[in-house]
Amino acid sequence: MAEEVTVRFRPFVERKPTLRKAIARGGLRERAEITALDNVSFTVGKGEAFGVIGPNGAGKSTLMRVLAGTLRPDEGKAITYGRTSTLLQLGVGFNAELSGRRNVYLGGLAAGLRKREVDEVFDDVVEYAELWDAIDRPVKTYSSGMFARLAFSVGMHLNPDILLLDEILSVGDESFRHKSEQAMQDLLDRSGTIVFVSHNLDKLAEFCDRAMWLDRGRIQEEGPSHTVVADYRSSIAHPGRSE
């Protein structure tokens, strides 16, 4: 079960301070603040798929990082129950110079598995990614589809309770896409939770039960995915009418 209570923060992105600017300013803090997420609260339950939509810069990826626990909000907090697997970017922890085999271990260990646990799922990961013999070749020799399949396969085999996905439903070719959707459905069936960000509105509406529309860090609307997607679409078609 994932339950998120008030993910809110104000002075969010500070510009990278350089020594020169800091000296020029006489202090270390940049004052100009950007509020990437402004008082966002929502709850996602077990066995539920939750979609997040919105224009570029709405705060979707920031929200995912908060849920993943890599970014601490300035105010509020995110609470997750169970093992979280993040597929926000593909191939996190991978080293392209190394073989696929080694990268499965790197990716799995990076995500928090023990080596023993990676040993157990290793064959399944390779089988699922349809890589077979290529697993011992350096990852830099892989096609982008092979790379994506391996990365996705590692993420799915972490056996997560919560899966965070950021715009990677379009992984691989048609048959692999079908397979990945099946895997996500399986996760939901065993009461896992999926939160995902996508610009593919049709797919999102079809896959998710509920959705949230973010704009400039604020929740515009939250509810059944079809309604939210339809409202988001009409706001794009008729800008200014909804506000």
Binding residues for another protein, per CB under 8 A? Answer: 13-14, 16-20, 22, 28, 65, 68-72, 86, 88-89, 91-93, 95, 97-98, 102, 105-106, 109-112, 114-115, 138
- Closest to another protein by CB, 91 vs 217, is 91
**CA torsion sign, 29 to 30 to 36 to 40?**
positive
φ and ψ of 211, to 5 deg: -145, 160
- Closest to another protein by CB, 97 vs 206, is 97
Query: What's the closest the beta carbon of residue 19 comes to another protein, in angstroms?
Result: 5
Query: What's the closest the beta carbon of residue 132 comes to another protein, in angstroms?
Result: 22
Angle at Cα 170 formed by Cα 168 and Cα 176, nearest 5°?
Answer: 110
**Exposure pattern of 56-71 as b/e (b: 16+ CB <10 Å)?**
eebbbbbbbbbbbeeb
Query: What's the closest the beta carbon of residue 121 comes to another protein, in angstroms?
Result: 15
Q: How far is CA 202 from CA 57, 206, 224, 229, 239, in A?
A: 21, 6, 13, 8, 20
Secondary structure letter of residue 33 according to DSSP:
-
The token pair at 55 is 């224009």
- Closest to another protein by CB, 4 vs 205, is 4
Query: What's the closest the beta carbon of residue 14 comes to another protein, in angstroms?
Result: 6
- Closest to another protein by CB, 164 vs 229, is 164
Query: What's the closest the beta carbon of residue 89 comes to another protein, in angstroms?
Result: 6
3-state secondary structure of 55: coil
Query: What's the closest the beta carbon of residue 148 comes to another protein, in angstroms?
Result: 15
- Closest to another protein by CB, 80 vs 235, is 80
The token pair at 189 is 């069936």
For the packed helices 115-129 and 100-110, what is the interaxial angle rounded to 10 degrees?
130
- Closest to another protein by CB, 62 vs 235, is 62
Secondary structure letter of residue 93 according to DSSP:
T
Query: What's the closest the beta carbon of residue 202 comes to another protein, in angstroms?
Result: 27
Q: Determine contact, residues 92/103, Cβ cutoff 8 Å.
A: no
- Closest to another protein by CB, 44 vs 104, is 104
Q: Determine contact, residues 155/163, Cβ cutoff 8 Å.
A: yes
